[in-house]
């Protein structure tokens, strides 16, 4: 089981609800910890971005799903628990820029989803 419901329609938000619930559960387990901004960035990039990885590899996520995941990440980054809103000091577009270019290096989920889909298409065409 890799989190893909059998026979599910990837265009429906309900198909992605398992991933969103999994992200919320992770955020709830971390909210009591006093994490630095660097620690939060590391958790977002290493754990939260990896949860939808398998589904992102095969299905294009609906825009509303990506927006919901980004909202949870953004609120967690600025000190919330994913549900409670905090003040954002920098725009999300700036945060998603690579560290070398002055951002914080958080993955742009929409671009990440498309890159994984293109990777599979390329592999099919070449082989």
- 37 contact partners, CB below 8 Å, separation of at least 6: 77
Domain extent listing, the chain = 13-126
Q: What is the pLDDT of residues 3-45, one digit of tens each?
A: 666 777 888 888 899 899 999 999 888 877 788 889 999 999 9
75-79 LR contacts (CB < 8 Å, sep 24+):
76/27, 76/30, 76/40, 76/43, 76/44, 76/48, 77/37, 77/40, 77/41, 77/44, 77/106
Task: Please write the tens of the pLDDT for every residue from 34-88.
Answer: 888 899 999 999 998 888 888 888 889 999 999 999 999 998 998 866 566 777 8
What's the whole-model pTM score?
0.85
């Amino acid at each position: 089981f890799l989190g893909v419901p059998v026979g599910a329609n990837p265009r429906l938000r309900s198909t992605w609800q398992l991933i969103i619930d999994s992200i919320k559960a992770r955020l709830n387990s971390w909210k009591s910890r006093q994490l630095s901004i660097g620690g939060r960035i590391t958790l977002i990039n290493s754990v939260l971005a990896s949860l939808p990885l398998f589904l992102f590899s095969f299905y294009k996520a609906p825009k509303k799903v990506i927006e919901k995941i980004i909202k949870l990440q953004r609120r967690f980054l600025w000190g919330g628990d994913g549900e409670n809103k905090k003040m954002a000091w920098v725009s999300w577009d700036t945060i998603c820029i690579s560290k070398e270019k002055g951002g914080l290096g958080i993955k742009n989920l929409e671009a990440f989803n498309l890159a994984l889909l293109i990777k599979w298409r390329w592999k099919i065409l070449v082989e």
